[in-house]
Amino acid sequence: MNSNRFLFLIAFIVGVSVMAMEITASRILAPHFGTSIFVWTNIIGVVMMSLSLGYWLSGKLVDKNPRLELLLKIILGAGLLFLVVPFLSNNLIDMISENILFFDSGVTILFVGSFLSAFILFGFPMFLLGITSPFLIKLYSVNNKEHEGETSGTIFAISTLGSIFGTFLPSLVLIPFIGTKFTIYLFSCILIFLGVAGVFSLKNKFLFLIIPFICFFSLNPSISTNASTVIEKESIYQFINVTSYDNRKYYISYNEGRGTQSILDKDNFLTGQYYDYASLLPLMKDSGTPEYLLVGLAGGTIVNALDKIYGKDINVTAVEIDKDVIEISNNLLNLENSSLNVVNMDGRMFLKFNKKKYDFIYIDVYINEMYVPWTFSTSEFWKIVKNSLKEDGVVGINLFSGGENTDFLKIFSNTIAKEFGHTYGLWPIKNGSYNYAVFASNESINFDKMKQKKEYKVLSDQIDYFLNNYIDINYSEDIKVFTDDWCPVEFLTDKTIFN
């Protein structure tokens, strides 16, 4: 192969690998720390810091020893270090997490834990890959001394083109089909095979080439599992884990599993948890055969209860962004019935382009276990919800908070109260629970009517608790509201969880 073309190939492969490893780093950390802005900040920060140190050292190293063989050995080292990440990640991250619990702030625990994990697992191999660009420029310019500017531009262009491929390929193809660990394994092998060319001895080349095959047969594709796991899957959006201890009751959780997204009990459609209160909405006003929109299907706990309680007397549309979650829910619950329509779409996008008016809308959307997406928290979002609701319709949302006096809960409920004339809170949804609910309508709601509907006595406990504990929420100009421009829900949620 022409030496310049080989240098271009190196630049492209390194560019692909840098971005591919950065994307997969988020998936390695997600089951333990989630994918909040703090985690992504640390991943990007570690990568940029490592690359910059590599650039700096390479500038010094290449002037003293500008040999292609040395560059290939550096790439080989990066490949070997990446290769051990899938084997070390779980135990290493658990050890880090256990040893930083002395911090008083939960945000600090999350930030420090994810930073140390990203740095130890990905920092040094990224540093080695950072050495390659100045090395390639120096090697290429040996035969092109009169065009050093063109040389630098060409190398960086090819490397950046590789990074573009490395951004889309893992996200859209590799991770959904072969998983995170095998994606890391694949790119590690590519770097190893490329780097082996810099090893002189044929015997040593064979040794380095056999290592990936040994690792392949030792690799466990699981990212985080336990004895009770019955389904484990990586979707485009998250790591999904379904556990059961008796094959009758199933728990669905995402990523690090600090929260439970759904409880599916084959013997009882009511869970005794916050999900049950979504079934109260149809009792809050008379509406014939109501149209009920659920944003956030998850495991189907809420739609299952609605079907068992109201049957064909209600039409339910459930919106869920993750098609793998829909598939799992359908397998566990067999969700297909004539009154249920499941839509695979982002909830805010669905509401934005929706032309239909609903009697009831309930929002139960979470990312990373306990975070309401910021896009579902803002004043602009609640205007969109209002446009999809009938004039006397009722909307409800489930929130996670460490207490009723948190900044998160105050600002969130105030944001809703700004858009709706009548807003109510259930603090908390259940005694001892960290789940809180906000209900709102354009018109006043006579909740006492719920008590009169004797045919729904299965909900009598939930009705009694609601009537005895709900409060009125009035909009206050002294309290901030979330907007599309300012909405630090992740920071405020972390603050309430840990403090």
Tens-digit pLDDT profile for residues 439-471: 999 999 999 888 877 788 899 999 999 999 999
Beta-strand relationship, 389-400 and 358-363: parallel
Residue where the block lists tokens 């989630």: 34
User: What is the pLDDT at residue 240?
Assistant: 85
Q: How confident is the model at residue 82 (pLDDT cuts 50, 70, 90)?
A: very high
The pTM of this model reads 0.81
| Domain ranges across the chain | 3-218, 266-498
Which tops the pLDDT comparison, 286 or 301?
Answer: 301
| Upstream peptide bond of 428 is cis (omega within 30 degrees of 0) | yes
Count of positions (residues) in the chain: 499
Question: Which of 47-51, 112-116, 170-174, 258-262 has the weakest average pLDDT?
Answer: 258-262
Q: What is the pLDDT of residue 293?
A: 97
Kindly list the distances between the CA atom of residue 384 and the CA atoms of 1, 41, 352, 365, 420, in Å, as whole numbers in the listed order. 59, 30, 6, 16, 12
Architecture per CATH, 3-218? Up-down Bundle (1.20)
pLDDT per residue over 327-374, tens digit each?
988 887 766 666 789 999 999 999 999 999 999 999 999 876 678 989
**Quick one: pLDDT at residue 256?**
61
- Locate 353 and state its tokens: 């382009």
Angle at 244 between CA 182 and CA 113, to 5 degrees: 50
Residues 6+ apart with CB under 8 A from 189: 79, 83, 212
Q: Dump pLDDT digits (tens) for 178-196.
A: 888 889 989 998 999 888 8
The partner residues of 342 in beta bridges, in order of sequence, read 318
Give the Cα separation of 140 and 160 in Å (integer): 17
Classify burial at 491, counting beta carbons within 10 Å of its beta carbon; exposed 0-12, middle 13-18, buried 19 or more: middle
Which of 208-217, 242-251, 457-466 holds the top average pLDDT? 457-466
The span from the first CA to the last CA of the chain, in angstroms, equals: 61
- Can you tell me the mean pLDDT for 233-250? 82
Looking at residue 484, its pLDDT comes to: 94
Hey, which residues does 291 pair with through a beta bridge? 315
Tell me which of 41 and 209 has the higher pLDDT: 41
Confidence category of residue 25, pLDDT binned at 50, 70, 90: very high
Q: 266-498 is classed in which CATH architecture?
A: 3-Layer(aba) Sandwich (3.40)
